[in-house]
């Protein structure tokens, strides 16, 4: 057993000489262990999030001025949660159904996401309700916000 371990150890030096750093090896095959660790990726490059389906709430009778105020506050809350790294994807559906949009929260649990959804002015007003589900997706999603900022000519809250 010791002999086979020694041979394996020697072979590893022939294949990967000690002067090659681990990060260089990772980059050679495309894997970035530092980024994977930073983003909490598992061995598949994935992690758990919480997805929220934003649905029509029971209180939809506001006048147009009230609806506009609630929507503006809703968008500001989205930006606040995104700036804090808790919300990484948000957007409306473009068809007219009871499901109005989605959020993907970068949190550990449905309970934590529930607390965040309760901070939303549209939820507080009863205009929206949120259905929450644990979701398994690409660990890289939090980096999308940084890239998207390079594409925005105008903020959605302006």
Same domain, 55 and 17: no
Q: Tens digit of pLDDT for each residue in 105-155?
A: 999 999 999 999 999 999 999 999 999 999 999 999 999 877 887 888 887
Same domain, 50 and 23: no
Domain assignment present for residue 38? The answer is no
Q: Which domain holds residue 22?
A: 2-31
Same domain, 13 and 80: no
Q: Tens digit of pLDDT for each residue in 31-70?
A: 999 999 999 999 999 999 999 999 999 987 778 889 899 9
Q: Please, are residues 105 and 87 in contact by the beta-carbon 8 Å criterion? A: yes
Same domain, 21 and 96: no
Same domain, 14 and 50: no
Domain count, the chain: 2
Q: In angstroms, what CA-CA distances link 90 with 11, 20, 75, 100, 156?
A: 50, 42, 10, 11, 12
């Amino acid at each position: 057993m010791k002999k086979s371990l020694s041979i394996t150890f020697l072979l590893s030096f022939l294949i990967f000489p000690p002067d090659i750093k681990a990060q260089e090896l990772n980059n050679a095959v495309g894997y970035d262990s530092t980024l994977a660790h930073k983003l909490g990726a598992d061995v598949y490059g994935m992690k758990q999030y919480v997805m929220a389906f934003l649905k029509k709430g029971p209180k939809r009778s506001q006048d147009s001025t009230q609806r506009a105020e609630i929507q503006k506050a809703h968008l500001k809350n989205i930006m606040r949660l995104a700036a804090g790294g808790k919300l990484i994807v948000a957007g409306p559906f473009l068809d007219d159904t009871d499901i109005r949009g989605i959020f993907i929260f970068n949190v550990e649990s449905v309970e934590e996401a529930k607390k965040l959804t309760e901070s939303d002015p549209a939820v507080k007003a009863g205009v929206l309700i949120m259905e929450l589900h644990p979701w398994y997706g690409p660990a890289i999603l939090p980096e999308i916000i940084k890239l998207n900022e390079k594409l925005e000519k105008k903020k959605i809250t302006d």
